[in-house]
Amino acid sequence: MTIKRNTAELKVTPDVHEQGARVTSGHVTFWMNCVGVPMVLVADGELRARSGNAAAAQLFGHDIDDFAGLPLHRLVGREAETLVSRVWNRSINGFPSEPFLLRASIDGAERLLVVRVSRLDVDGELLRLFTFVEAPPTGAVTLAGWQENLLGLLNWMPFGLEIADLDDDIQFANSACLDLFGWTARDLATPEDWWRLAYPDPEYRAYARTRWETEIAAARAEDREMTPFDLDITRKDGTKRTIQFRHRKIGNFHVNMYLDFTRERAYASELKKLAETDELTAALNRRSFFKRASRTLASGGAEGLALLMIDIDRFKRINDRFGHGAGDQVLQLFVQRIGRCLPSSCLLARLGGEEFAVLVDKDNDCAVIAESIRASIAAHPFETAAGFLSVTTSIGVAPLEGAESIESALSRADRALYRAKQSGRNRVLHDKEA
């Protein structure tokens, strides 16, 4: 490999111009000590030095032999170490990153350094080579201060932010990224690690990746911000979060923004649930039932659909004798038993009081389902705070006909239910039998 040096930068390039070219530890040690710029070799993803050259020993006030295993905060201070841990370099092995400013604390004195980092494959192990140069002391100090303040601002932002080069190699990730995802540069050595770890389910991973790549391609082709979208990611600790993804090309950088919408989406889901379901039993409410049932009818026609009207026999006696608390428990347990009898494609709603409706879809036999509900309710008493209560139910069945509306079929099922109760209760009656 060759090492080029001037007063502003160090460039390390492998003799073989391809990603993954390797060098030996002997080569690295030799060339580091031939260069007058402070250099420290660090294991990729770690915060401990492997070695340093003579210039680094002079800058940081340590003997060369002291660098092995030395924590970076012992060299540059805690705050500077934290910043270093958030600057990820995904560049091709042997080529330095963009420079960044580091306000270091060296022997108790504050020093402003310009830092560049190169990735090297040394004897088959991936290492990072840090180069430290004193920040320009004259006119560039003001600009350096702005850059330093900007990095501080980005780390303060309450959303995840990544800055990548035009090849999508991440150059900087702010502190919120670690808070959001839990993954560090050490965990995510390659982009494939991100997809594998953040989306452990292969099917959802394929969906997430396709969505990301499709949206980014469209945004870059039209030179615009990517249309924001949500994905559910898995954090390092195994918890799930709903993240809104944003992306934009700005100058020579690609900027990714991550907003945690987990709480907002949970609230929205809960509000939707409250708007569509009965608060006591969690069955659909009347409005939602008619809306969904009408949508099902419009999409596939009436053929094969049927409606059940279901009523708890002598429910008023339960309330009068045991109280409304026991009555509420019966309603809740009643819905649970009905639910166990229904295929997932059927709709169950509480229309009011002790009256319930079921829309049976085309693939199920309404008479069989109605009888299974009746038998299940009558089979075992309901365990309530007032004791075990025997409950029965009456059911009216009405298949939809032709261009009939949901309301019309439900009215026929209700008439069949009324006759079932008149004829002795605890029975199923078809509207044609009524």
Kindly list the catalytic residues. Answer: 354
Is residue 81 within 8 Å of residue 68, measured between CB atoms? no
Residue appearing with tokens 């559910």 = 232
**Phi then psi dihedrals of residue 252, to 5 deg:** -100, 25
Sort residue 307 into left (φ over 0), alpha (ψ -120 to 50) or beta. Answer: beta
- Residue partners of 336: CB distance under 8 A and separation at least 6: none
The pairing of beta strand 2-5 with beta strand 125-134: unpaired
Is residue 381 within 8 Å of residue 390, measured between CB atoms? yes
Return d(Cα 430, Cα 434) in angstroms, integer: 6
Return d(Cα 98, Cα 64) in angstroms, integer: 27
The helix-helix angle for 78-86 and 140-156 (nearest 10°) equals: 80
**266, 276, 183, 199: which is closest to 231 by C-alpha?**
199
**343, 345, 273, 360: which is closest to 309 by C-alpha?**
360
Residue 430 β-bridge partners: 397
Is residue 302 within 8 Å of residue 296, measured between CB atoms? no
Return d(Cα 321, Cα 66) in angstroms, integer: 85
Return d(Cα 254, Cα 169) in angstroms, integer: 9
Residue appearing with tokens 């990301």 = 212
Amino acid symbol at 116: R
